[in-house]
Amino acid sequence: MYYMLCCDISTLCCTAADLESIIADFSTRYHKLSDNLWLFCTPKTKAIESYVSPEKYLVLYALQDYLTPDNRVFAFAIPKNGYCYELPKAAEEFLLIDEPDDD
């Protein structure tokens, strides 16, 4: 399943490199669009032990130590169809990867 993480890195207590490390550890693969915008793929069952969806787990648990009262972070699932985007070619190609363990 594909997800998008949007954040204002200036409101987090970490660097873009720290954020990339967290996303890399959490996902099966990811694509950095900018310091503030990331695409990542992880199975829907990734955070099943916490009884939350992967996008909620990333924001509520994985980033918990880096959040501030002024943070601006959100994540959401990207459906396989029914969405519209205008992205760089590399990002579009990333979203077209379809592997069996993605879902």
CB distance 73 to 5 below 8 Å? yes
pLDDT of residue 102: 61
pLDDT of residue 55: 86
Provide the number of structural domains found in the chain. Answer: 1
Give DSSP secondary structure letters for 57-74: HIIIIITGGG--TT--EE
Alpha carbon distance 44, 55 (integer Å): 9
pLDDT of residue 49: 75
pLDDT of residue 34: 92
Range of the domain at 43: 2-102
pLDDT of residue 78: 86
Q: Which helix (H) or strand (E) holds 50?
A: none
Quote the pTM value: 0.80
Divide the 103 residues of the chain into consecutive groups of 10 and give the mean pLDDT of each group. 90 92 92 92 78 85 90 86 75 79 61
